[in-house]
Structure 1
Amino acid sequence: MTKLDELIQELCPDGVKYLPIPELFITRNGYTPSKANNEFWENGTIPWFRMEDIRENGRILTTATQYVSEKAVKGKLFPADSIIIATSATIGEHALIKVPSLANQRFTYLTLKDEFKDCVDMMFVFYYCFRLDEYCKSHLNQGNFASVDMKQFAAFKFPVPPLPVQREIVRILDNFTELTEGLNRELAAELTARKKQYEFYRDKLLTFDVLGKRTSKVVWRALGEVCDVVAGGTPSKKDTAYWEHGTIKWLGSTVCQNQKNIETVTAYITEKGLAESSTKLMGKGTTLVALVGATIGKVAFLPFEAAINQNIAGVYPKNIHELNPSYVYYACTLLYPKFLALTQGSKLAMANMSFVRSLKIPVPSLEVQNRIVFVLDNFNAICTDLSSGLPAEIEARQKQYEYYRDKLLTFKTMSN
C-alpha cells in the first residue's frame, strides 16, 4: 500500500466533497487596457498575461512578456496564486500565476476564497485544471467565435480531499512531471546533437575542406550554368475551374524546410489551371528553393511531380550525366547564408531568379557526387527516423503521464 493509499484510507475512507467553481473560487475576467492610451503601457510594472506567455514560458508563471502601468488597473489586481484559464479563443489552456497580475480578456481568473486557503493547495487545483481544460472544450457556446458556456463552466466541480492527500498527490505529480520533461529534453537534445553532427559532416563534404583548406581540384560553377532554374506561379483563385477537383500537386514555399523529402502538399490544381497560368510542373528530383518569407533560402527535394508557385525556384541539372539531382539538393543547402544576407534590414526581401542563377556550387566528378549523396542520404535517413520517432515517443509518454495523473485525481464522491 502506498503512502497515498494510506492517507486516503485514514483521512477520507468514505470519499471526498466536490464543490462547484462559484463556491470555491472568486471568478473574474481579464481585460486589455486601451492601446490608444500610452500611459497604460509605458514603463509598466504589472505583468499582463496572454496566451503567448503560456506557449513561451510554461504553465507556472512569475513574469510576463508584457507589462502595464498602475493607471491601467481597474479596481484591484488579481492576487498571486490565481489560476488563469482560457474561456474564449484558444479554449482550455491554463496556468498558475504566482504574482499579482492582470491578463487579457481571453482568460477567466480563479482565485481561491479566503475560507478555503487553509484547506486547499493551489498546486492541487493547478493539476486538476487539466480536467477543467477538457471540460471547457466540450461545453462551448454555439456561434462563430469559440467561447465557453459560462453557466456550464460554473457547474464544474473540484474535489476537496484532506490537505495531506492533496499535498501527496502534488508531490507525486511534481516528480512525475519533472521525470517526463527531463526524458523529453534528453530525446530532443539527442536529436539536436545528431542534426548538428550531420550538418558538420555535410558542410565538410560539400565544401571539399581538406585540413581547413578548400581543395583546388573542384570547380565551383553558377547554378544557372549547370541547372535550369525556373520560378512558378499561382492560378487565379477567382476561377474555380483552376482548383475544384484538381489532381495536380501544387506547392508553396512553406514546403521548403531543409528536409530532403516533402510530406505535405499545399493544394491541388487542375490541368486547366496548369495550362492557363504561369505555374510550372517540376519533375521528380527537382530541388526547390524558397525565394521569400520565413523560409527564404531553405530547400526541399521533390519525390514526385508537382507544380510550384512564384515564391519557389525549381532547380534541375541540365545534364544528369554530369550532375546528380540529389547532389544539387545537398549543395543548395550550403547557399542558405547567401539568402539570409538579403533579408538584413528587410522583412519582405525576395530573391530574384538572377540572384539564384548566380549562386555557385562545387561540381566534382559524377563519381564523387554519387559517393557524397550515398553518405548524406544514409545520414539523413538516420536523422529523419529520429525526427519522426521523437514526436511519437513524446506523445506516448505524455499519454502515460495523463493516464496516471487522472487516476491520482479520481476520488470516490462523499455521499450526503
Structure 2
Amino acid sequence: MSRLDELIRKLCPDGVEYKKLGEVATITRGGNFQKSDFSKVGIPCIHYGQIYTSYGLFTEKTITFISGDKAKKQKMAVTNDIVMAVTSENIEDVCKCVAWLGNEDIAVSGHTAIIHHNQNAKYLTYYFNSILFFSQKRKLVHGIKVIEVTPDKLADIKVPIPPIEVQREIVRILDTFTELTAELTAELTAELAARKKQYKYYRDGMMNIEGAVYTLEDVCQIVDCPHTSPKWKESGVPVIRNYNLVNGIIDTTNLSYIDEEEYQSRIKRIAPKKDDILFSREAPIGNIGIVPEGFVCCQGQRVVLLRPNQDIVLPRYLLYELQASVVREQIFRVEQVGSTVSNFNISDLKKLHFTLPSLDAQKAIVEKLDVFSGLCASITEGLPTEVAARQKQYEYYRDKLLTFKEATV
C-alpha cells in the first residue's frame, strides 16, 4: 500500500469533501497596470499575458517590476496566492494560472483573478490544470473572439478538499513526476544535439575530398520562382514556401494551396519533379528540400528550383553538399556584406562553389550519409513523440490522483 493510500484510509476513509472554491478562498480581480508601466527595479509584478508565455505552474520570482508609486494603486498577491488569467483567445488557455511562492507581495495586472486560500497552493494549482477543472470551466466561459471567465463565477467551481497531509503527498508525487519528465526531455534534447554535431562533423569530413571544383551554375539548371503572390485556397496543389524546407526535406505539415489554374500559371517556367532541390533565398536563407517521387507542387516566392545535371552530380549528394559547412560559410559571408540579410540573390546563388568527386565516390558517400541522417531523423522524430507520451502519462496520473470518492454528508 502506498503512503497516499495509507493517508486516505487513515484521514478520510469515508471519502473527500467537495467544496465550492468560494468556501475555501476569496477571489478578487487584479489591478490595472500595463506593460508600458514596467520598470527595471521596484515592486515585483505579474502581467496576465506573462502567465501564458513566461511562467510554469509555480514561481518564486517575477520577471518584471513596476514602480512603488504605481504599485500603491494595484491589487496585490501574497505568498501562496494563485494568479489566474481569466481572458484568452481560446477555451484551453483561459484560466491558466501560476502559484506565487515568493516571499514578497506582488502586484497583479487586470484580466486576472487573485485566489487567496487556506489550502496547499501547489495542490490547487495542479487541480486547476486538470481535466476535472476543465470540465467545469467550459460551462462558465463566454465570448467568441475573446474567451472570458468572470472571477465571481470561479467561486462556484467545486474542488475536492482532502486533508492537508493528503494534499502534500499528492503534490510530492506530482512534483517528482514533473521533475522526471523534465529530466527525460533534457536528456533527449542533449542526445539530439550531440548526434547532430556528430553528424555535421562526419558529413563535412566525408565531403572534404579531392576532386574538381564546380559552381552551382555548372552542375544545375537554376530556375527562380514567379515573383507574384498567388491566390490562396483551402485545398488544391501545394505551394512550397521557405518555411516548408527543413533539413533537406519538404515539410508537409503546414502547406499552402492554390487551384489548378493558378498552378498551371506558376509552372510555365518549370514544374518541380522528383530529385529537384528547392532552395530558400529568403530568411531562413539556404534552407533546402528535395522533391520526393510523385509529389506535385510548385515554387513559392523566394524559392529557387535546382535541377541537378546527373551526369555530373547525384541529387542527394548535392543536397548534402548544400548543407555542408563549405557552402554554408559562403552563404553566411554574402549575408554579412549585403545591406539586408533577408534575400539571397540568384547571381550569388550561381557562384556557390564546392568540390565534386566521381559519381561512384558520390554514390558511396550518399549511402553512408543516408544511414547517419536517418539515425538523426529518428531521434528528432522520437523526441516530441516520447515527450508527448510522458506528458499524456503525467496528465492521466495527475487526474487520477485528484479524483476522490466524494464524502456523503
Tell me how far apart the structure 1 counterparts of residues 340 and 64 of structure 2 sit (CA, whole Å): 23
Once the two structures are superposed, the pairs formed by residues 2-401 of structure 1 within 5 Å of their partners are 2-30=2-30, 33-34=33-34, 40-45=37-42, 46-49=44-47, 51-52=49-50, 55-56=53-54, 58-73=56-71, 74-89=73-88, 90-99=93-102, 100-112=105-117, 116=118, 120-131=119-130, 132-133=133-134, 135-137=136-138, 139-148=140-149, 152-208=153-209, 217-233=210-226, 236-237=229-230, 243-244=232-233, 247-264=236-253, 266-277=255-266, 281-293=271-283, 295-303=284-292, 304-317=295-308, 319-334=309-324, 335-341=327-333, 349-401=342-394
Question: Which stretch of structure 1 is more off in the superposition, 89-98 or 155-164?
Answer: 89-98
Tell me how far apart the structure 1 counterparts of residues 311 and 17 of structure 2 sit (CA, whole Å): 78
What letter is aligned with 2:99? L
Q: 1:80–1:97: 8 Å Cα contact kept in structure 2? A: yes
Q: 2:85–2:97: 8 Å Cα contact kept in structure 1? A: yes
Q: Deviations over 1:202-248 (max 9, x none)?
A: 1212233xxxxxxxx323322122212222136555xxxx5557632
Tell me how far apart the structure 1 counterparts of residues 50 and 335 of structure 2 sit (CA, whole Å): 26
Tell me how far apart the structure 2 counterparts of residues 87 and 268 of structure 1 sit (CA, whole Å): 37
What letter is aligned with 2:113? T
SS of the aligned residue for 1:402 comes to: helix
* Larger RCO: 1 or 2 (CA < 8 Å, sep 6+): 2
Tell me how far apart the structure 1 counterparts of residues 352 and 134 of structure 2 sit (CA, whole Å): 51
The structural deviation recorded for 1:81 is: 2.2
SS of the aligned residue for 1:58 comes to: coil
Tell me how far apart the structure 1 counterparts of residues 232 and 175 of structure 2 sit (CA, whole Å): 52
In structure 1, runs of 5+ residues without a counterpart are 209-216
Tell me how far apart the structure 2 counterparts of residues 60 and 2 of structure 1 sit (CA, whole Å): 26
Mark the CA change 1:41 to 1:362 in structure 2 (over 3 Å): closer, same or farther: same
Q: 2:31–2:75: 8 Å Cα contact kept in structure 1? A: no
Question: Which stretch of structure 1 is more off in the superposition, 17-26 or 275-284?
Answer: 275-284
The structural deviation recorded for 1:326 is: 0.9
Mark the CA change 1:245 to 1:26 in structure 2 (over 3 Å): closer, same or farther: closer
The structural deviation recorded for 1:253 is: 0.6
Q: 2:34–2:47: 8 Å Cα contact kept in structure 1? A: no
What letter is aligned with 1:267? S
What letter is aligned with 2:21? I
What letter is aligned with 1:316? R
In structure 2, runs of 5+ residues without a counterpart are none
Tell me how far apart the structure 1 counterparts of residues 351 and 21 of structure 2 sit (CA, whole Å): 66
The structural deviation recorded for 1:332 is: 0.9
The structural deviation recorded for 1:374 is: 0.8
Q: 1:234–1:277: 8 Å Cα contact kept in structure 2? A: no
SS of the aligned residue for 1:282 comes to: coil
Q: Deviations over 1:2-49 (max 9, x none)?
A: 22112112111122222222332233344563466xxx3343332334
Tell me how far apart the structure 2 counterparts of residues 72 and 373 of structure 1 sit (CA, whole Å): 64
The structural deviation recorded for 1:296 is: 2.1
SS of the aligned residue for 1:155 comes to: coil
Q: 2:84–2:114: 8 Å Cα contact kept in structure 1? A: yes
* Root-mean-square deviation over aligned CA pairs: 2.8
What letter is aligned with 1:247? G
The structural deviation recorded for 1:343 is: 5.2
The structural deviation recorded for 1:263 is: 3.2
What letter is aligned with 2:191? E
What letter is aligned with 2:145? N
The structural deviation recorded for 1:347 is: 7.3
Tell me how far apart the structure 2 counterparts of residues 111 and 346 of structure 1 sit (CA, whole Å): 55
Question: Which stretch of structure 1 is more off in the superposition, 72-81 or 348-357?
Answer: 72-81
